[in-house]
Copies of this chain bind each other. A is one copy, B any other.
Amino acid sequence: MAKEPIPTPVTRLYVEGDFTAGLSVLLDAERAHYLRSVLRLKPGEAISLFNGSAGEWCGEITSLAKSAAAVTLTKRNRAPAAEPDLWLCFAPVKRARIDFIAEKAAELGVSRLVPVMTRYTQMSRVNTDRLAANAMEAAEQCERLTVPEVAEPVAFDRLLADWDSERQLILGDETGAGPPIAEALSALSADRLAVLVGPEGGFAPDELDALHGKAFVTPVSLGPRVLRADTAALAALACVQAWSGDWRHGRPDFRAGLKRG
């Protein structure tokens, strides 16, 4: 069967800072190693740098050594733009699945990842640096301008006690007691949203009672099958973006140059 090389997109790196044309941006050893040894790029080649306040800028690699690299910015190709204010609160699960959650959440436009320690959570520690690295890599690949923030793990009771009641919390209720998610989202109007999913094994009964008693909680059913925690997180986020988030709008200008433009 046919096999054909596909065009390689220009590498995008998330780098903090104010950008202007002509500015030389220094990259640290880790970034330099990635460009040199993983991607095998060379001085003179093009890459893009981006962050939420500067937008995305075209640049040229001007030096590339083991310990550092430099990129000279040429022009801005995307202006800063508002991105969704959408949190994902989730009980930490095992390594491969938590990596997956961080990656997919970044692709699905989550602005903040909040690990929540619930009663049935089987993990006692969370490597937030690892979560942040996975989220950043996914953000770089999916053409976001921001990377999701990763919060320190928080106890379930504390999460609810400190909750900003203006932010609606969409609860993936694994007991199936909530209304279907389509119905629940149609009835919802809030600018700030969060999705909450429990660990494998679900929430404890008293945790569900606490959640159901809060005005800012919208329990939803995700269908007749019992979803894994990572599937539930991703499925709920996709529905939220499709029906209440930034998937409702047409194609953004920056993607108009793609095929079939």
Contact = CB atoms under 8 A, between A and B. Distances in A.
Contacts of A249: 180, 224
Consensus secondary structure, chain A interface? loop
Nearest to A247: B223
Contacts of A1: 117, 121, 124, 153, 155
A261 B208 CA distance: 12
Q: How large is the interface on A (under 10, 10 to 19, 20 to 34, 35 or more residues)?
A: 35 or more
Nearest to A153: B1
Given A6-B201, A200-B6, A242 B181 contact: yes
A109 interface: yes
Interface string A124-141: 100000000000000001
Contacts of A100: 100
A189 B140 CA distance: 37
Q: Select the residue from A3, A144, A208 with max chain B CB neighbours within 10 A.
A: A3
Contacts of A224: 143, 246-247, 249, 251-252, 255
Interface string A193-224: 00000011110110010001000000001111
A151 to B, nearest CB: 15
Contacts of A243: 182
Interface in A154-209: 155, 174-177, 179-183, 199-202, 204-205, 208
Number of copies of this chain that the complex holds: 2
Contacts of A228: 103, 107, 141-142
Interface stretch (A40-48, A67-75, A233-241): A233-241
A257 B261 CA distance: 52
Contact of A109 (B3, B153, B223): B223
A94 to B, nearest CB: 14
Q: Sort A-B residue pairs by CB-CB distance and give the 6 closest, nearest first.
A: A6-B201, A176-B251, A235-B238, A223-B247, A1-B117, A142-B225
18 contacts: A3-B122, A6-B202, A104-B234, A108-B227, A108-B235, A141-B228, A142-B228, A143-B225, A175-B251, A180-B247, A180-B248, A182-B247, A208-B260, A222-B242, A222-B247, A224-B249, A224-B255, A235-B235
Interface of A: 1-4, 6-7, 96, 100, 103-104, 107-109, 117, 119-122, 124, 141-144, 153, 155, 174-177, 179-183, 199-202, 204-205, 208, 212, 221-228, 231, 234-236, 238-239, 241-243, 245-252, 255, 258-261
